[in-house]
Amino acid sequence: MKSSNIESIKPSHCWKIIVVDDKEQVHAVTRLALQNFQYKHKSLELISAYSSSEGQQLLEQNPDTAVLLLDIVMEREEAGLDLVKYTREKLHNRFIRIILRTGQPWIAPEQSIIEEYDINGYILKTELTQHKLFCFLLTAIRNYHNLLTVEEARQHISAQNKELENSNLILEKKVQEYTQILQKQTLALVENNKKLELEVQAKLHAQQNLEIINEKLFEANKKLSLLANQDALTGLANRRYFDVYLQQVWESAQENKHPLSILICDIDFFKGYNDSYGHPEGDHCLQRVSQIIHRVAGKSEGFAARFGGEEFAMVLPNTKLIDGQKIAGKLRLEIHNARLPHRASTVSEYVTVSIGVTSIQFQSDGSINDLIHRADQALYKAKKLGRNQFVTLH
């Protein structure tokens, strides 16, 4: 597959997924689990292969495949790994996202596979839930779509480069013609020099435009990698990544019976702050507060995110409620001691926060939504009791 063939691999009405596994049950379960999957208003087209040789044929026939869900051990112990090499080295397909699924990790340990093969995911079948499959597939298709977008932009720049090269050849030919004319027509020397100068300026202008386009493309690629998980203003994780991380920590804590605590905090009277100081200063305030939250979370081995607006959240794995209360108290004190002026506040002359704290021990039924709801209710109570404090809700 060559980059000039981008039109042949762009997805049209659906996302093609090739499933290679020698067990029919795996194909059936995969189809069932993904029957309602959609991304960017496009559904999936699942194509099944039951051996690596069938997989090779399907990959050759379907260059627009977005994701390859691949078993490692089939007709041979390394049949799946050979198919990875075939895809990357023989078909030169660098766009397709490859996710390995195995029920025998001792044959192909995860670390060595990730180091030696160009894959994009490694899942143990024993740990594969419908949710995890959804998350892996969503991430893979999003990355596939982003790669195609960047490739289109790169080819567009390449086409412009080619046009510029052609213009340069034409320009060089004209310069030669003008030089001959200058040698024969000395009386027109000044006029012809002016024309030549204009042509050179046009070339320089085109080169400058190309440099600007390349710089914009580079910046766009950087922003693309950040936008997926990071809040642009504060640099903390965004709400989408907070939900993904909390789900992972929740499942781990539930499996290992470890405690899990979360904090939700809100800057007191922030609307008044914006009205009094203006939105640029309000953004600066959010950045200063987020830096403190990030520092406190890091010292506690926690995870900080911007929850929305002037709200922030902190996930504290393997942390009991009493320790979560200590961290909340430390966070409240450090923000107050930062002495950020707040003339619109009725509780302090400086910026303060109200914090809701809750925890779960996984000894009773519950859900992530319940945990977030309790923290939010505790935050509401902290505000109702006068703000600049933390409140715990069991």
Helix (H) or strand (E) holding 263: strand 260-267
* Angle (deg, nearest 10), helices 130-184 and 189-227: 170
**Residue type, position 273, single letter:** Y
Instruction: Compute and round to an integer the Cα radius of gyration of the chain.
Output: 29
Token readout for 104 is 């025998």
Rounded CA-CA distance 351/338 in Å is 8
What's the distance, Cα to Cα, between the start and end of the chain in Å? 57
Instruction: Label residue 144 exposed, middle or buried (CB < 10 Å: 0-12, 13-18, 19+).
Output: buried
**68 DSSP β-pair partners:** 18, 98
- CB neighbours of 275 closer than 8 A, spacing ≥ 6? 344
Rounded CA-CA distance 168/200 in Å is 10
Give catalytic residues, as residue numbers.
310
3-state secondary structure of 12: coil
Of 96, 127, 99, nearest to 113 by C-alpha is: 99
